[in-house]
Amino acid sequence: MKNKFTLIAITLVAISIVCCKKESIIEYNCSGITPTYDGEIKTILDTHCAFSGCHNASSKKAGIILSDYTNAKDESTKDKFLGSVQHLKGYDDMPKDASKLDEATIQKLYCWVQNGSPQN
């Protein structure tokens, strides 16, 4: 009986590791692409993320605020920021209940992060 329980436990752990593994962040070429928060990123975040009921200062869905530079920069350092926007396995797809952002917009977000998430 003990061996059967051990086998079941090992199988469940193996399944959870295989099924729940997060995909790696997709990399983009950022040559000549230097978006800034004030220049392009704020508009993207305000339009798709930081509006009423989602990631603004009032709603704070999942404790995330993307409606100001300081909070957006802090979130941009976490894998879930790009993983969610890229709709990768193991992340919550964002924007929630909406289509994936177009590749050019995702590339801007990626390059912003890769360039240190500059404000202006």
**pLDDT of amino acid 34:** 97
Cis preceding linkage at 35, omega within 30: no
Q: How confident is the model at residue 21 (pLDDT cuts 50, 70, 90)?
A: confident
**102: Cα separation from own chain's centroid:** 15
Round to whole Å and give the CA distance between 83 and 88: 5
How confident is the model at residue 98, as a pLDDT?
A: 92
Q: What is the chain's length?
A: 120
Q: Choose among 45, 32, 55: nearest CA to 106.
A: 45
Instruction: Dump pLDDT digits (tens) for 36-68.
Output: 999 999 999 999 999 989 999 999 999 999 999
Q: Is omega for the bond preceding 95 within 30 degrees of 0, making it cis?
A: yes
